[in-house]
Homo-oligomer: A and B are copies of this chain.
């Protein structure tokens, strides 16, 4: 499957975020380890605040990481489009994640005119291991603020 070219490369995405969303820019500068047409890999370090009873990384932490990875891929393809928002996320948690860093691989499914659906898989530390979660995430391009 051929993918459309990127509008912004990895550094372009990080520079853009430093400008429009400085609070979040650090986690992208740190975690966006790969960005190419149709694909992004985002690493999210986890700490004690992300852990639930039983020593498992919490579900919301995984969802947050998937949302960040998807946002990076959307910005890469749409260029300066900070107003794109998540319109759908569906996630299946397959295995209790042991504590470790989350590796999120995101694949572009379609660069639609209004909707950008993506598929994501989440691994702990090593993307060669079975995924701990899979997700579908859809970003919605802002045509007119408040509409859609």
Minimum CB distance partner of A93 in chain B:
B87
- Say which residue of B64, B95, B110 sits within 8 Å of A110 (CB atoms): B95
Assess whether A46 is interfacial by the CB under 8 Å rule.
no
Assess whether A33 is interfacial by the CB under 8 Å rule.
no
Could you tell me if A85 and B93 are in contact, using CB atoms closer than 8 angstroms? yes
- Say which residue of B1, B94, B110 sits within 8 Å of A109 (CB atoms): B94
Set of chain B residues within 8 Å of A140, measured between Cβ atoms:
93, 115
Question: How many A residues have CB within 8 A of the partner chain?
Answer: 51
Could you tell me if B86 and A59 are in contact, using CB atoms closer than 8 angstroms? yes
Could you tell me if B93 and A91 are in contact, using CB atoms closer than 8 angstroms? no
Assess whether A102 is interfacial by the CB under 8 Å rule.
no
Could you list which residues of chain A lie within 8 angstroms of chain B, going by C-beta atoms? 1, 20-21, 23, 48-49, 52-54, 56, 58-60, 63-64, 67, 82-83, 85-96, 109-110, 112-115, 117, 119, 129-131, 134, 136, 138, 140, 142-143, 145-148
12 contacts between A and B (CB under 8 A): A1-B130, A54-B82, A54-B83, A54-B142, A59-B85, A63-B67, A89-B91, A112-B147, A113-B143, A114-B114, A115-B148, A119-B119
